[in-house]
A = this chain, B = another copy of it.
């Protein structure tokens, strides 16, 4: 290395952001004030965004798709639906939903009602973490409710639970196990490990869970990278699976299609999920419409965070596929 690197610390970036966002100076003005080039100011601002150092919040963000939200609640009989607007020409089904979930979580955590909540994993939750404002909830515990895949990535089990805990200023507890147990291993023996039993006990005391879902296609990270060798997308479809929640594959009625695989899945059982007071599912994309509907039917969702495109498809699906559930059409 020749010449020492210029100061590019958080302190520098923070001051740039203060001048730019709080004081409303232009990038050129900030550069002049701080005695650096405009380029470096520009870069600092971009770095701040990337680092999640600045956060833009919109007050009452869910007023824009009120009709869709109310119709979803009515048609599917769920307690709350939150619908984020998307750009249809440049569709991104993780970002807006992530923002929406981040907003809702912030609001929900403010009440202080949650002592512990469970998280699965996936790109949607990763996106939510990166959009969350740093907070302080020292009494809160984030519990991982699903094992990980061997292909480690930032949105895998460990990264999601610790990511939430970090940004929320909370504690966390990791499920140190693979999502699917290898064929040769005895399930009961494996689960009898003290560390796992202690962890599993926490599932019964969760105040909330953050769920995601996916369909059976290459769009699903789990299907592409995480399935046991014996399980192919083809076999899944033949068994009637339309997608998974917590690694457990369901049919269009929300029933498990592969009990044997479920037995070898390390994570919170869906029966336990059903018992959690707040079941929040964050999911969007045309390919997820069926599995979202199935998960709702199964009783896995109180609150659905999605986008307007998916919401419209869900309503279409709900009207065409099934007559409204009895008692769920009341206003």
Which residues does A use to contact B, with CB under 8 Å?
10-11, 14-15, 17-19, 21-25, 29, 33, 48, 52-61, 63-64, 66, 84-90, 92, 95-96, 99, 107, 110-112, 131, 133-136
A10 nearest in chain B by CB position? B63
A84 contacts across to B, CB distance below 8 A: 18, 22
- Cβ–Cβ contact A96 & B59, under 8 A: no
Closest 4 CB pairs of A and B: A15-B64, A22-B99, A21-B56, A59-B134
Given contacts A55-B59, A57-B133, A112-B112, 13 further A-B contacts (CB under 8 A): A10-B60, A10-B63, A11-B63, A11-B64, A18-B61, A18-B85, A19-B87, A21-B58, A22-B96, A24-B95, A52-B59, A56-B56, A56-B57
Cα(A96)–Cα(B33), bound, Å: 15
Q: How many copies of this chain does one complex carry?
A: 2
A95 contacts across to B, CB distance below 8 A: 22-24
- Cβ–Cβ contact A64 & B18, under 8 A: yes
Minimal beta-carbon separation of A178 from chain B (angstroms): 34
In the complex, which of the residues A29, A66, A85, A86 has the most CB atoms of chain B within 10 Å of its own CB atom?
A85
